[in-house]
């Protein structure tokens, strides 16, 4: 092969390398190598889920007692009891199965993505679809999706602690071979799956995926992450145990009293156990999980993806939301409006990323090449830039195509950082496009942007052999790095007067809510430079100010927060004046509120910050490390803090916050992993929506706890008082189990679907340590439980007295218990309104559940075949009159007391 031929071939290979795999190749490789996943924990099988439903102490005893009773001859009752237990188990299984699948689906949604170049196009795909040979692109904050060899590196540092235990990030560089024989930590030219890019950018070719990676080899060590239980679930489990003990004691007394009275031992045993099965609210934690999972789904519909279930609960307690400004409170659609260069202030016309527009000086359109400082400024803006502008992909619909053909308007979009996109657009309006720049300059190196440094530099060479450093960043930071200034007269020393003038222009632009960037450069003497010296002794060139309009929905969300007793706080890397102007527009900054800067925070002790944190509404020019200080101070003040973050350095603060919130669009993998909630649309209003849902879910949980416990107290009390009064048993075991099946299941779950009460965002946040029974809920439960019990007993006693027929009295007591509970379920819809005030029909699931339960009751009462099984008799018109009359006393009494209570509270105020 001739030298020429081999050069050509190597050029072609190089080009192919930078195009990445084709989609076709990737597909074939995916078939060959399989998904890029680490074999995970086995999913719980459907069979074991079903088996689990019977794995309850009380149910087991019930089944055992039923078996004995069947053996003794009462097979019909035994079969019925077993059928009820099975139906109950099926319902439990359906709930659990749905919850499990919902949570699984959410995990899939939150699955990581990776950036690859395929067919020459940069795209984001699920990390599990990465195959060997893929060309991946890595940036700070990314989790490396597979083991890969580096082919292009810009100041890359990687945290490999997951693999090596070494906590400090390691620098990476290109190597000719990937360090054969050496340990993981020694291989400089390779990045490993699971490690995190802490700084810089790189491109790498994947050589191992899935279980073939280093991570795959140690998979067992890292995959045992348990599903977390929420604090409420833990508390309810504890509560369930206490109630269970109480119930068992009462059930034992009921059984014992019956035996002493001469009833059959086995009958009494079955009675006691059935009562225990019905009364012990063993389903409570399960229904809480169902309702949390439902809440998670509802939040997802509002663009909030919950990663950790406890967050759903904590959201309802949030009292402060610390939010980034750019992109969360604002649209992150930047347009350069003002340019300062060579002592002139230029206006820039045009909107968004459309290239149409012009640069004006004193209201006259100018040619940028006529002003040397302006031209240099635009060149720096174009070169020190990683964004790309392109035409938007053609519309899909036929009509859309016609519309865009008729309007003949080109639409543009940017790929990359919107700030940089806006700079590219401004440069293009001045006639300096990326294509033109690429004909003059080529990039040799980059010192990437990060929120701590607040600036970025590139080293560019030109074809004349000259080398330049082009830098852009926060104006104050840039000015500190400059010793000269580029003016229309040439390069001069940057004296105090010039500095003052620049800062004044910066303040004026910031006062108009513009985000301002400074630009500087220097010429290098040689291409052998020290990276540490690159950003020293620069020449200041100018400023650009861009608008980033506040999101419309943010203003409304801020107002909602205020009414809901939640304090919104803006945290931004932007200038104090810009931040304050936007915060004022959004009503975040009120008259008595303070603005603090990162520099002021540096000077401040922790205790000082704690003293004033409650009054600060805006933190400006802060670094990610300040966010951690702020979260800690607010937490010390007793706040429940939601904190947003996107960059890799935000992860500690996001983790420390009570509710860590990461950005779905701009967030890095690391921050997403540290967060408990991801905003799919990066929008502040979504946090507020999630808080609203959090409150609704908690309220709904209180609703069904209230319902279930009051019903259970009613059931136990009926039996207990009946025994104490020496009456025959008011209910038989299968009747008790039937009531349990009919009332506890469907209506309780349906309460979990209850729509929000109108005033849910008009109340103060609840305290995080507040008991689930706070605000008088326990009193309500006991009061209504006792009323249900007394009503049932009253119906039983009166019908026994008037008819002398135990079966009729029992059937009526059975019906009363169901009816009172089905009435009570509507009372549980609100803690502030009585049954005559609540909107009865706004939850169709509840209406359906109540209808279903009513039909089930009527079937047992009136179908002759079931009558013989459930020992019921047909009730007469008069019986029903007695049942309905006595059942309606409870709601009337409780409404009366609620109204009295409210009246007294008002007059006390």
Residue (327 or 745) nearer to ligand ATP, CB: 327
Structure tokens at 354: 């459309």
Minimum Å gap between C-beta 509 and ligand ATP is: 11
CA atoms within 13 A on the CB side of 786: 7
In degrees and rounded to multiples of 5, residue 373 shows phi and psi of -60, -40
Q: Cβ closer to ligand ATP: 100 or 476?
A: 476
Q: Which of 134, 159, 324, 650 is catalytic?
A: 324
Q: Are 536 and 481 in contact (CB under 8 A)?
A: yes
Q: How far is the CB of 645 from ligand ATP (least distance, A)?
A: 9
Q: Which helix H or strand E contains 689, and what residues bound it?
A: helix 684-724
Tokens of 796: 């039983």
Residues near ligand ATP (CB under 6 A) are: 324-326, 417, 419-420, 449, 451, 454-456, 472-474, 515, 517, 572-574
- Partners of 341 in beta bridges: 344, 542
Nearer to ligand ATP, 66 or 572 (CB): 572
Phi, psi of 51 (to 5 degrees): -60, -35
Per DSSP, which regions of 401-489 are E strands?
412-415, 441-447, 455-462, 467-473, 482-487
532 carries an active-site annotation: no
Q: In terms of CB distance, is 88 or 328 closer to ligand ATP? A: 328
Torsions phi, psi for 111 (to 5 deg) = -60, 150
In the beta sheet, which residues pair with residue 335? 547
How far does CA 98 lie from the centroid of its chain? 20
Residue 388 CB, shortest distance to ligand ATP, in Å, is 14
Least distance to ligand ATP from the beta carbon of 573, Å?
3
Residue whose pair of structure tokens reads 């540290």 in the numeric block? 674
DSSP assignment of 199-231, as one string? Answer: EEEEEEEEEE-GGGSHHHHTHHHH--PPPPPPH
Give min distance, CB of 156 to ligand ATP, in A: 18
Q: Which is nearer to ligand ATP, 29 or 515 (by Cβ)?
A: 515
CB of 326 to ligand ATP, least distance (A): 3
For ligand ATP, the nearest residue by Cβ is 573
To the nearest whole angstrom, how small is the minimum distance from the Cβ of residue 762 to ligand ATP? 30
* Phi, then psi, of 182 in degrees rounded to 5: -90, 170
Closest distance of CB 334 from ligand ATP, Å:
10
Shortest Cβ distance from residue 590 to ligand ATP (Å)? 20
881: Cβ contacts below 8 Å, ≥ 6 apart: none
CA distances from 386 to 18, 422, 570 (A): 17, 12, 27
Give the shortest CB-598-to-ligand ATP separation in angstroms: 10
Long-range contacts of 829-837 (CB under 8 A, 24+ apart): 829/703, 829/751, 829/754, 830/757, 831/699, 831/702, 831/706, 831/775, 831/777, 831/780, 832/757, 832/759, 834/891, 834/894, 834/895, 834/898, 834/899, 835/891, 835/894, 835/895, 836/895
- CA–CA separation, 735 and 809 (whole Å): 13
State residue 448 phi and psi, 5-degree precision.
-65, 160
Q: What are phi and psi of 466, to 5 degrees?
A: -85, 155
Query: CB of 324: closest distance to ligand ATP in angstroms?
Result: 3
Query: Between residues 620 and 799, which has the closer beta carbon with respect to ligand ATP?
Result: 620
CB 666, min distance to ligand ATP, A: 9
Q: What is the dihedral of CA 621, 623, 624, 627, to 10 degrees?
A: -60
Phi, psi of 752 (to 5 degrees): -65, -20
Please state the closest distance from residue 54 (CB atom) to ligand ATP, in A.
53
Do the beta carbons of residue 647 and residue 621 sit within 8 Å? no
**Rg of the chain over CA atoms, in angstroms?**
35
Nearer to ligand ATP, 549 or 565 (CB): 549
C-alpha pair distances (Å), 732 with each of 88, 790, 833: 18, 18, 35
Nearest-10 crossing angle of helices 265-279, 57-71: 150
**CA 621, CA 615: separation in Å to the nearest integer?**
18
What b/e readout covers 323-336, taking b as 16+ CB neighbours within 10 angstroms?
bbbbbbbbbbbbbb
Q: Contact 537/522 with Cβ under 8 angstroms?
A: yes
> In 3D, which of 56, 60, 42 has the Cα closest to residue 93?
56
Cα(845)–Cα(482) distance, integer angstroms: 68
Active site residues: 324
């Amino acid at each position: 092969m001739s030298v020429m031929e081999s050069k050509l071939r190597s050029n072609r290979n190089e080009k192919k390398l930078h195009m990445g795999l084709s989609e076709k190749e990737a597909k074939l490789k995916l078939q060959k190598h399989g998904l890029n996943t680490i074999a995970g924990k086995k999913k719980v099988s459907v069979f074991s889920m079903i088996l689990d439903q019977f794995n309850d102490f009380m149910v087991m005893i019930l089944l055992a007692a039923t078996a004995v009773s069947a053996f003794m001859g009462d097979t019909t009752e035994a079969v019925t009891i077993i059928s009820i237990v099975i139906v109950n188990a099926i319902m439990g299984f359906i709930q659990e199965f749905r919850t499990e699948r919902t949570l699984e689906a959410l995990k899939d949604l939150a699955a990581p993505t990776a950036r690859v170049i395929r067919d020459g196009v940069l795209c984001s795909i699920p990390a599990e679809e990465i195959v060997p040979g893929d060309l991946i692109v890595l940036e700070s904050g990314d989790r490396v999706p597979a083991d890969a060899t580096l082919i292009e590196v810009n100041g890359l540092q990687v945290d490999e602690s997951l693999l090596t235990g070494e906590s400090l990030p390691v620098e990476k560089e290109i190597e000719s071979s990937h360090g054969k024989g050496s340990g993981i930590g020694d291989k400089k030219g390779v990045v490993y799956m699971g490690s995190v890019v802490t700084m810089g950018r790189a491109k790498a070719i994947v050589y191992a995926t899935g279980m073939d990676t280093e991570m795959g080899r140690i998979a067992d060590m890292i995959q045992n992450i348990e599903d977390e239980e929420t604090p409420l679930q833990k508390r309810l489990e504890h509560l369930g145990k206490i109630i269970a003990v109480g119930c068992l004691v009462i059930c034992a007394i009921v059984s014992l009293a019956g035996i002493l009275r001469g009833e059959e031992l086995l009958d009494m045993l079955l009675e006691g156990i059935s009562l225990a099965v019905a009364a012990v609210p063993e389903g409570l934690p399960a229904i809480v999980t169902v309702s949390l999972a439902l809440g998670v789904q509802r939040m997802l519909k509002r663009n909030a993806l919950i990663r950790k279930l406890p967050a759903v609960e904590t959201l309802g307690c949030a009292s402060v939301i610390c939010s980034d400004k750019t992109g969360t409170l604002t649209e992150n659609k930047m347009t350069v409006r003002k340019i300062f260069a060579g002592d002139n202030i230029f206006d820039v016309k045009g909107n968004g990323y459309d290239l149409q527009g012009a640069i004006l000086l004193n209201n006259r359109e100018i040619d940028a090449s006529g002003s040397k400082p302006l031209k240099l400024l635009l060149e720096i803006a174009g070169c020190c830039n990683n964004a790309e502008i392109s035409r938007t992909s053609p519309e899909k619909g036929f009509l859309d195509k016609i519309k865009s053909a008729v309007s003949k308007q080109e639409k543009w979009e940017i790929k990359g950082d919107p700030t940089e996109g806006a700079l590219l657009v401004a440069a293009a309006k001045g006639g300096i496009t990326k294509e033109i720049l690429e004909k003059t300059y080529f990039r040799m190196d980059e010192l990437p942007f990060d929120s701590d440094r607040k600036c970025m530099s590139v080293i560019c060479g030109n074809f004349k052999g000259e080398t330049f450093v082009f830098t852009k960043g926060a104006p104050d930071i840039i000015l500190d790095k400059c010793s000269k200034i580029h003016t229309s007269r040439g390069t001069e020393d940057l004296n105090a007067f010039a500095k003052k003038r620049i800062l004044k222009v910066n303040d004026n632009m910031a006062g108009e809510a513009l985000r301002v960037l400074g630009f500087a450069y220097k010429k290098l003497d040689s291409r052998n430079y020290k990276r540490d010296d690159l950003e020293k002794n620069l020449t200041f060139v100018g400023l650009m100010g861009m608008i980033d309009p506040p999101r419309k929905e943010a203003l409304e969300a801020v107002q909602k927060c205020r009414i809901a007793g939640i304090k919104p706080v803006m945290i931004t890397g932007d200038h104090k004046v810009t931040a304050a102007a936007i915060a004022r527009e959004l009503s975040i900054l009120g008259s008595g509120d303070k603005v603090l800067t990162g520099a002021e925070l540096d000077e401040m002790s922790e205790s000082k910050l704690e003293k004033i944190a409650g009054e600060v509404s805006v933190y400006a020019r802060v670094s990610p490390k300040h966010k951690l200080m702020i979260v800690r101070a607010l937490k010390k003040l007793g706040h429940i803090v939601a904190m947003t973050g996107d960059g890799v350095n935000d992860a500690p603060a996001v983790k420390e916050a009570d509710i860590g919130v990461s950005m779905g669009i701009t967030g890095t993998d690391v921050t997403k992993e540290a967060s408990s909630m991801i905003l799919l649309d990066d929008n502040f209003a979504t946090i507020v929506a999630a808080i609203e849902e959090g409150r609704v879910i908690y309220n709904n949980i209180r609703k069904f706890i209230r319902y279930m416990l009051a019903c259970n107290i009613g059931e136990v009390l009926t039996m207990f008082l009946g025994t104490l009064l020496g009456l025959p048993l008011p209910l038989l075991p299968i009747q008790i189990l039937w009531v349990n099946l009919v009332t506890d299941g469907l209506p309780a779950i349906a309460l979990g679907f209850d729509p929000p009460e109108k005033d849910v965002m008009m109340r103060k946040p609840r305290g995080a340590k507040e008991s689930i029974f706070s605000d008088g809920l326990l009193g309500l439960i006991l009061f209504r439980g006792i009323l249900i019990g007394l009503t049932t007993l009253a119906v039983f006693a009166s019908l026994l007295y008037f008819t002398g027929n135990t079966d009729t009295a029992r059937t009526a007591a059975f019906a009363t218990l169901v009816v009172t509970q089905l009435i009570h379920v509507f009372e549980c819809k609100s803690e502030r309104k009585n049954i005559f005030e609540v909107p009865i029909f706004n939850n169709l699931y509840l209406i359906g559940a109540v209808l279903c339960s009513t039909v089930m009751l009527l079937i047992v009462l009136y179908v002759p075949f079931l009558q013989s099984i459930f020992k019921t008799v047909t009730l007469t018109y008069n019986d029903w009159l007695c049942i309905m009359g006595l059942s309606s006393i409870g709601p009337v009494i409780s409404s009366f007391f609620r109204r009295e209570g409210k009246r007294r509270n008002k007059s006390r105020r």
